[in-house]
């Protein structure tokens, strides 16, 4: 089966390319990296904001409750 590498467009063959449909390990890694960074961008803002709010509330509790 012949295809084109989705990263660089070079023609690849499932019979000869171990990293099919990518032309090589470099392009396969690049494509995985794109996926990972997209996921990271989507999930990180909401996650970070709620984490900060919880942390701030915790800090306030400690400030008022644990004075000597
Ligand atoms: Zn490629």
pLDDT tens per residue, range 39-62: 656 555 555 666 677 778 888 877
Is the CB of residue 22 less than 8 Å from the CB of residue 31?
yes
Calculate how far, in angstroms, residue 24's C-alpha sits from the geometric centre of ligand 1: 6
Peptide bond into 21 cis (omega under 30): yes
| Residues whose beta carbons lie less than 5 angstroms from ion ligand 1 | 5, 7-8, 10, 23, 27
What is the distance in A from the centroid of ligand 1 to the CA of 28?
A: 8
Q: Are strands 11-13 and 2-4 parallel, antiparallel or unpaired?
A: antiparallel
Write down the mean pLDDT value for the chain: 81
Tell me what pLDDT residue 3 has: 95
Structure tokens at 27: 């392009």
Q: How far is the CA of 41 from the centre of ligand 1 (A)?
A: 24
Instruction: Give the Å distance between the CA of 46 and the centre of ligand 1.
Output: 34
pLDDT at 23 over 70: yes
In order of start, what are the domains of the chain with their CATH numbers?
A: 2-65 (3.30.50.10)
Q: Is the pLDDT of residue 16 over 80?
A: yes
């Amino acid at each position: 089966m012949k295809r084109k590498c989705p990263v660089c467009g070079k023609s690849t063959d499932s019979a000869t390319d171990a990293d099919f449909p990518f032309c090589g390990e470099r392009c396969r890694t690049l494509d995985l990296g794109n996926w990972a960074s997209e996921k990271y961008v989507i999930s990180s803002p909401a996650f970070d904001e709620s984490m900060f709010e919880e942390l701030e509330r915790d800090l306030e509790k400690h400030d008022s409750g644990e004075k000597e």
